[in-house]
A and B are shown apart, each in its own frame.
Chain A
Amino acid sequence: MTPNPYLFAPLLLASLAIFARACWKRLSLISLGQPEERFDNIGARFSDMLLYAFGQKRVLAKPFGFNHFIIFWSFLILMIANTEFILNGLFPRSIKLIMLPFELYVPLAFMIDIASLLALTAVTVAAVRRLFAPPYPEARTPEAFFILSLIAILMLASFALNATELAAYMLKSGADPVSFLSEARKIMPVSSYVAGMLPSLQLGTIHAVAWWAHALALMAFICYLPNSKHMHILTAIPNCFLHRLEKPNTQPREDFAIGNTFGVDRVDRYSWKDLLDSFSCTECGRCQKVCPASITGKPLNPRAVIHDIKVNLLENGTALKKGAAPQTPLIGENGEGSVSEESIWGCTTCGACMEACPVFIEQMPKIIELRRHLVESEAKFPEELLNLFENMEGRSNPWGIAPSERTKWCSQLDVKPFDKDTTEYLFYVGCAGSFDSRAKHVSVALTQLLDKAGISWGILGKEEKCCGDSVRRLGNEYVFDKMAKENVATFIERGVTKVITQCPHCFTTLKNDYRQYGLELEVIHHSELLRNLVRDGRLSIDKTTEEMGATVFHDSCYLGRHNDIYEAPREVIAAATGAAPAEMERNRSNAFCCGAGGGRMWMEEHVGERINITRVKEALEQKPDTICVACPYCMTMFEDGLKDVKADNVRVRDVAEIMAEAILR
């Protein structure tokens, strides 16, 4: 009954060699990437790895995640059984789990038996799901069914193996089958059940067949694993360990020196971690199911971007290692292995993909690197952006309005200039708040509330410049760098330390991006400030406003997902109206973008349904009278969307306007 080790050993060695070679190849490909520090704060990394890799926290966020959880943990448990299997195959009868002390053996054998059953069930569920309701149509691949079948064969074979061994032991010891099996059932419930069904005469044959089926399936798995998307079994755990501990809400600076390259147009210009990301993706499709571009029918698909980076690396790897030029271009319309320009420009940088990814793949920064190459090295971008870039550089606002008009919004108001000795906060009005006729109302409402609460604040007036958010997300890092340096110099010179913003884009740029320029500001978004003022009693609401009717709140991506501010605006609305706003189906970290982030505010949307229309329809499902926002871009997108769907009876209000309605009217 014992398999022949002289046959098994060379086969195993061969499959391990194939495994090692494939792993080595991929590791050497990853090492083509640029250096990046990902080994700081080991403690936090370790605990995140436990939570997200072993605890499967993000995997479990979706219903089928539980199925994966089962497979993952069964896998870990069954590694013990498989080690035993391999050792036993190489050195027959040398090492068996049963040699362990009985008190240890019993729970271990029980766990292995149950884990095998759970794994078998889970892969069956996975196969059925892929057949009838795949996460996305392309997920129904032969590759997926192949790997699921291999796992199923491993489980079935291990039941047969254990069962034949049990039956053989029973026959040899001459024990009473009924009492033996009922005892065995307490240790290995499934295998003993199978043992009871086995014909005693063919035990040897069944054992041999099961053993070799198990051995071949195991070796096939070992060979196939690193060559497929199932590589994630090896890379996902380190990927969770190596993920960016701070939110990936900003992009790294570039060094503008002659001879440098800017952005990424070939795969080896990505960092090694970017390349590791591509091997960690198992193509679960969760990113594409939350991506506003993918959902509304645009060519961008974050899963495909990561897949294309991997394919490109595999195709160009050999050439790149020799220092030769890559054959498959990273940017272009070449199908698999290349990312199309239309995809690159489709990203709203909403961050939903990164929030959804169970293994912390960072899709957005990779897309921005591609934009950087297109803008900075090729000056190639959608034509709407030419005016934007020139306006930003020449007049420091997206519309190209004369900078002298920046203070027009407050010409009728008594607004003080910021002075570090007499004013506490700088109110950084922002371009929308200064120039956009709708957003100006928000600026006015906010300043009235600040005065009412006795806040000491001032503005930079004509000295205020655009924060540069749009140009940075659009990949025009050169212009952003100039704008950021100018602003940082102004803030330092004027002694600014505390800033109020009414725009989440200014908020994140001043707070997170300018930190790269050595400026640590205490930046507060107006929704947080208003919430605090209500809490502290500095703004008191005698009578809540009924003007707003039924409200629903829309999370701005750069307030919510990128900066974790979810409750403050809701609390402001609740305080002002006396009732918490209704929630859309997708809210908070799962909220759907308005379509304006990442510089998309300044671009046309030609393909598919417009993102803002999609979101407006979702908001209207809650039958609101007022859609509440906390961002001037969201405001524009909703107002435009409401006009397009002819929902004239619904209005859009910023949280400051709602608060002002309750307090000042």
Chain B
Amino acid sequence: MLIVVCIKQVPDTTQVQIDPVTNTLVRDGIPFIVNPYDTHALEEALRLKDRFGCKVAAISMGPPNAEGTLKKALALGVDYAVLLSDRVFGGADTLATSNVLAAAITKLHTEVDEVALVLCGKQTIDGDTAQVGPGIASRLNYQQLTLVDKIINLDFSAQKIRVSRKLEGRHEIVDAPLPAMLTVVRELNRPRYPKVQMRLAAVESVVDVWNNKTLQLDEQKIGLKGSPTWVSKIFSPERDKGEIIGDGYADPTGTAALLIEKLMAKDMLPL
């Protein structure tokens, strides 16, 4: 029984800037992190491993330096780590990305062990589309359970899963047969912290790199060529320069009065 977790290396968004000319993210000098939602997917897979003794594989599509992300997953305890990296994968939209990830999952299914679950974060913090997980489910014809905040029951032998989905203002309990693809929200769990022995072992361990020679996908379905979505412009909404009024440190009371006055003048503080 194999659980596959899809993780992505993303730029630390608090530090992201957009190149106004190319409309792409400026990645130089920006540290990368594991997409925060994916860390919860990873944690859940590891908890299932602790509980059921199944194996966990982490896969990621990205440039060669995304190996660091997979090493973090190895330090946390995944059994296999596969980096899907090839120039022809580059420039992919969510459709092309899900094609590559689905192909990799199929390969793991046939070569390593039967895949019962695929876990993804609900979305990435750079693209924010929330489409790749459902895309994988569609390509693989797996059950699609999005926004999962709790796995209520999982029975590998009966091939059944029951989850709670966190929707706006309500929860939905859903039963589904396996194999299933879950996208998860932060409330699902609290990710673990890596042990030093595991970190040291992860540094030494090898991340498998699969390129398109390995996956043999039609180049019309992957990368830029396989991406029907084109980004015409990305921009940060401009914010008019704000104003610092008074000195809240030296004179908090006076500054508060000043603030109230300003807000009232702008008719923003109905009294």
Chain A interface residues (CB < 8 Å from chain B): 256-258, 262, 375-379, 381, 383, 386, 389-390, 394-395, 401-404, 437, 441, 478
Contacts and interface: CB of A to CB of B under 8 A. Distances in A.
Contact of A404 (B15, B199, B204, B249): B15
Given A257-B200, A403-B15, A441-B249, A383 B195 contact: no
B197 to A, nearest CB: 7
Contact of A383 (B14, B190, B194, B201): B190
Nearest to A478: B196
B46 to A, nearest CB: 12
Given A394-B12, A402-B15, A379 B33 contact: no
B230 interface: no
Given A379-B195, A386-B190, A394 B33 contact: yes
B196 A262 contact: yes
A269 B102 CA distance: 49
Interface in B198-243: 199-201, 204
Interface in B172-202: 190-197, 199-201
Contact of B196 (A377, A401, A441): A377
Contacts of A389: 193
Contact of B197 (A377, A386, A403, A437): A377
A402 B12 contact: yes
A189 B201 CA distance: 76
Interface of B: 12, 14-15, 31, 33, 190-197, 199-201, 204, 249
Nearest to B193: A379
A258 B193 contact: no
B12 A258 contact: no
Contact of A258 (B191, B194, B195, B200): B200
Contacts of B194: 379
B195 A386 contact: no
Contact of B12 (A377, A395, A437): A395
- Cβ-closest 3 pairs across A and B: A376-B196, A379-B193, A402-B14
Nearest to A381: B193
10 contacts: A258-B197, A258-B201, A258-B204, A262-B197, A386-B193, A389-B193, A402-B12, A402-B15, A403-B31, A437-B249
Contacts of B201: 258
Contacts of A386: 190-191, 193
Nearest to A262: B196
B197 A478 contact: no
A378 B195 contact: yes
A437 B15 CA distance: 20
Contacts of A377: 195-197
B27 to A, nearest CB: 14
A644 to B, nearest CB: 18
Contacts of A404: 15
Nearest to A372: B196
Contacts of B249: 437, 441
Contacts of A376: 195-196
A256 B196 contact: yes
A598 B15 CA distance: 30
A376 B194 CA distance: 8
Contacts of B31: 394-395, 403
A262 B195 CA distance: 10
Nearest to A390: B193
B192 A379 contact: yes
Nearest to B194: A379
Given A381-B193, A394-B12, A437-B249, 6 more contacts: A376-B195, A376-B196, A377-B195, A386-B191, A403-B15, A478-B199
Contacts of A383: 190
A401 B249 CA distance: 21
Contacts of B191: 386
B15 A256 contact: no
Contacts of A395: 12, 31
A389 B190 CA distance: 14
A288 B195 CA distance: 33
A653 to B, nearest CB: 12
A453 to B, nearest CB: 24
A390 B204 CA distance: 22
A320 to B, nearest CB: 22
Nearest to B197: A377
Contacts of A437: 249
Contacts of A375: 193
A261 B24 CA distance: 45
A397 to B, nearest CB: 12
Contacts of B196: 256, 262, 376-377, 478
Contacts of A390: 193
Nearest to B34: A394
A401 B15 CA distance: 9
A262 B193 CA distance: 15
A383 B192 CA distance: 10
Nearest to A376: B196
A343 to B, nearest CB: 21
A588 to B, nearest CB: 31
Nearest to B201: A258
A635 to B, nearest CB: 13
Contacts of A381: 193
Contacts of B12: 394-395, 402
A402 B11 CA distance: 12
Candidate in B191, B196, B200 with the most chain A CB atoms within 10 angstroms: B196
A386 B190 CA distance: 9
A262 B200 CA distance: 12
Contacts of A441: 249
